Structure 1
Amino acid sequence: MFKRFKKQFPFIRLNPPQVLSIGFIVIIFLGSVLLSLPIASADGTGQPYLDALFMSASATCVTGLSVINTGEFYSFFGEIVLLLLVQIGGLGFMTMATLIALVFRRKITFRERLILQEAMNHNSTEGIVRLIRKVLYYSLIIELTGAILLAIRWSFELPFKTALYFGVFHSISIFNNAGFDLFSSLKDRPGSLMHYVDDPFVNIISILLIVLGGIGFIVISDLLTYRFNKKLSLHSKVVLSVSGILIAVGCLVIFVFEFTNTQSLQPLSPTGKILSSLFQSVSSRSAGLNTLDIGSLRQGTQFFIIIMMFIGASPGSSGGGIKVTTFAILVGAMIAMVRGKEDIVMFQRRIAGDRIYKAITFTMISFLIIVVFTMVLSTTENFSFLGILFEVTSAYATAGMSLGLTPQLTSFGKMLIILLMFIGRLGPVTLAFSLTITPEKDHYRYPEGKITIG
């Protein structure tokens, strides 16, 4: 009967991008229902549904933008729901579904492997289930280690149960690049990690969690097997080298631009200046946490952070943006063009033409999305242009940083930001494929033409 039903309704057969899109939508709506319940709020009054939908989307898309004060508003139940959404959104719902299938020893079908390939942004289905096992194992070990270390540090100033809970919550949130924090629930404490701007231990642990969550599980797997095979894939080499350069450049730019700013770096000790510059450089590309007041930074620094957010993290990670590999290909194309070379070469390997087209396409679509949404929100929201551009880029890149616009958004503005976070988490190309029922292939080629450039 079911086979006859599928024959009568062939559109029920969804392709992998469609499965991913619908899966994320279902999780977001389930989360919004739970967060809107009275039991989810600390005062028992509940939350307006649109705000609950916004928070559910922000958590599932591991963004971190918030229309309310997370630490003060939610009850323990609400915080756990938010944390579960972050974990599911960070690892991917298909990864979580695979975990359940593996626990019950159910066979992973080829179609499910295709969906996992799309979800992990992997090149092929070969070894995809083995990669998922590694993802789950690495995530558990890293999050558990981070939770223990942070709990030990915070146990010196907080009750043990609170320190342990804070350690678990923030380790998961930081590793998945979500950016949610609970410190505003403590009396006389600023939000995020601003209280620990001078604390080397909290800064270093947080930076390591952000980096490990942002470089992607393929790179982590390569690094762990390097001592056996003494080899790194081209992908890992590009991700590690470009990420290192971006972190160093970002740290230097923030340090130089903010060195004399009395509202950011100037009052800090030399150690605090270096730590906060490094932390903000690492966090800007996807994590959404801050040890400096982002609204107090100079406009030049804020615009630089917009660029960093646009570049984002690495493929196969929980971070957003156009990804560091895309940025590397664009820079490589520019260098090749200036030097008069036909091929983009990285680490003695030529980059395939389809990768270059995909990088250019993804960057242009991302740029156009940010431009259009910024123009629309500039007419509906009463905020500065730079603030709106900052918020839009942060939502699309799932970075989670804000100059204070999010709590002031109109209902229409909240809906647009929800849509942006969803597009940014899936990726515009994946979303476009999910809306395409049958991709068309050209059976012929037109004669070549020439256009003058420059």
Structure 2
Amino acid sequence: MPKRLLRYSLLRTHPARVTVVAFALAALSGAALLALPVATADSQAAEPVDALFTSVSALCVTGLVTVDTGTYWSDFGEAVILGLIQVGGFGIMTLASLLAVLVSGRLRLRMQLTAQAETKTLRMGDVRRVLLGVAGTTLIVELSTAALLALRFRYRYDMAIGDAVYQAVFHAVSAFNNAGFSLYSDSLTRYQNDPFVELPVACAVILGGIGFPVLLELLRHRTRSRGPRRWSLHTKLTLVTTGSLLFAGAVLTALLEWGNADTLGPLGTGSKLLNAFFHSAMSRTAGFNAIDVGSMEPSTLLSTVILMFIGGGSAGTAGGIKVTTFAVLGVAILAEVRGEPTSGVMGRKLAPHVLRQALTVVLLGMGLVTAATLALLTVVEAPFEYVLFEAVSAFGTVGLSAGITSDLGTAGDLIIVMLMFVGRLGPVTLVSALALRERSRRYELPEERPIIG
């Protein structure tokens, strides 16, 4: 094959391009199904924008909605949404993990660059294991969560067995895939005093959000004598950063909302702590809410925006820039402040291109959110903090809203659709593309230092 044709073929089959095209086709297919009259409760065809918005939100496991899920859509429509959530969550975990395998394998031949170091449990021959592992993990967590919720719905709230099972399965799938779709118009606010509903949902969200490579490594080491000392740097960074952000988010929410009469104020001490933790967990890209987000203090909204932008773990169902990206930049800043020539953490040196990739992801994410917020402000009449909150929620595929989603209008809806799609696939495809384009340089340019600061 001529070299030009070979390059063209490689370009056409680049993993980033395949991922984007596949998800775009799935989103359009879901929108077409939701636009059918049979998909709505009143058998009237949904507005095309509502159908597209809901399809992209479900496939990108976001949870933002322009219409009430439990009342607007029929059983068929809810089944389509549930299927899109499952396909989106499974597809993201699988594609991200397989991209890690691809990147890892190629970079292993080129002196083992960054992706192999971060996913050292994955190799080129592990495609089948990745697929089975993601499917098995998804099935186990979703069934376990659904069983706990079904028992609670049946014996605590006297639901019929069929209703209890259906609602439990829907919310379990939505939770593990970090989708945030609920069959209730108030999300999970009605269960704000029930830890037997909130905690299983929060646990499913956290497990889905830390990423399959971490789950696989934890499961692989559970029966061995090797403990945390033998965990990969990726697993250590993900667990430590996730735990720290969960704790910090819960503490900030409790402190800032403790006396707010519209949120935590009327609750007892135990319920306040429970809901502060629940909100922190949901801010990691899940989207359920048990307290009114629109009534929160501006300081709480800002802290939530930060958590939503950071997101969860890589190769998982969570969105955002990812906790490892945040941790890597934090380590680099600390090293620079200390005057150290290289960045290191937990006994490992970070390669320079890892820092460049992390910085690229963060700056592009900030630029996208800024541009989208400016665009929304021109078409939506709402306070700045609510618009910024909506934009970051869409980019981080979170699904939390301050209550303005249904008032965005067609132009605002399309902007949010773009944000959800790019926010879901952007970091995955960008990092894989950057890693696959990594190449060595046979010469070095003369060094010069511009003035910084």
Task: Select which of 217, 220, 241 maps to 1:225.
Answer: 220
Report 1:64-213 matches (<5 A).
64-92=63-91, 95=94, 114=102, 125-156=124-155, 157=157, 158-184=159-185, 191-213=186-208
Q: Relative to structure 1, is the Cα distance of residues 384 and 86 closer, same or farther in structure 2, using a 3 angstrom cutoff?
A: same
Match of 1:289 in 2: 288
Distance, in Å, in 1 between the alignment partners of 2:282 and 2:76 is: 28
Q: TM-score, normalization: structure 2? A: 0.89
Q: 1:94 to 1:217 in 2, by over 3 A?
A: closer
Q: Distance in 1 between matches of 2:99 and 2:401?
A: 39
Amino acid at match of 1:247: L
Of 443-452 and 393-402, the range deviating more from structure 2: 443-452
8 A Cα contact 1:20 1:115, kept in partner: no
Aligned residue for 2:222, secondary structure, equals: helix
Asked if structure 2 preserves the Cα contact closer than 8 Å seen for 1:63 and 1:399, the reply is yes
Whole-Å separation in 2 of the counterparts to 1:92 and 1:296: 35
Contact 1:284 1:399 in 2 (8 A): yes
Query: Structure 2 matches for 1:227-376, cutoff 5 A?
Result: 227-229=222-224, 230=226, 231-376=230-375
8 Å Cα contact 1:95/1:116 also seen in 2:
no
Deviation (angstroms), 1:447:
1.2
Q: CA–CA distance in 2 between the matches of 1:440 and 1:117?
A: 15
1:183-225 deviation digits (Å, cap 9, x = unpaired): 23xxxxxx11111111111121111101101001111111112
Q: Deviations over 1:396-433 (max 9, x none)?
A: 00011111121111211111111111101112572598
Inter-CA distance 20–161: structure 2 relative to 1 (3 Å threshold): same
- Note the C-alpha offset of 1:227: 2.7
Alignment deviations for residues 240-290 of structure 1 (CA, whole Å, 9 cap, x no partner): 111111011111000000111111111101110000000001110110011
Amino acid in the other structure paired with 1:291: A
CA RMSD in angstroms comes to: 2.8
The structure-2 alpha-carbon separation of the partners of 1:434 and 1:48, relative to structure 1 and needing over 3 Å to count, comes to: farther
- Per the alignment, residue 63 of structure 1 pairs with 62
Deviations 1:313-368 (A, max 9, x none): 10010110010001101111111111111222221111111111111111000001
Contact 1:170 1:180 in 2 (8 A): yes
Aligned to 1:453: 452
1:294 aligned partner, one-letter code? V
Q: Work out the CA distance in 1 between the residues paired with 2:179 and 2:433.
A: 25
Counterpart code for 1:135: V
Instruction: Quote the offset at 1:126 in angstroms.
Output: 4.4
Contact 2:63–2:287 (CA under 8 A) maintained in structure 1 = yes
Q: Which residue of 2 aligns with 1:188?
A: none
Q: Distance in 1 between matches of 2:307 and 2:340?
A: 28
Q: What is the deviation of 1:94?
A: 8.8
Residues 84, 115 of structure 1: alpha-carbon distance in 2 compared, 3 angstrom cutoff: farther
Residue 76 of structure 1 deviates from its aligned partner by 0.5
Could you tell me how far apart the structure 2 residues matched to 1:397 and 1:179 are?
12
Distance 1:151 1:117, change over 3 A: farther
Tell me, yes or no, if the aligned pair for 2:397 and 2:424 is still in contact at 8 Å: yes
Opposite residue 147 of structure 1, the aligned amino acid is: A
5 Å matches for 1:377-416?
377-416=376-415
Cα distance in 2 between the residues matched to 1:252 and 1:275: 11
**Which amino acid counterpart does residue 177 of structure 1 have in structure 2?**
N
Pair 1:426 & 2:421 matched: no
What secondary structure is seen at the aligned counterpart in 2 of 1:453? coil
State which drifts further: 271-280 or 338-347: 338-347
Using a 3 Å threshold, how does the CA distance of structure 1 residues 413 and 248 change in structure 2: closer, same or farther?
same
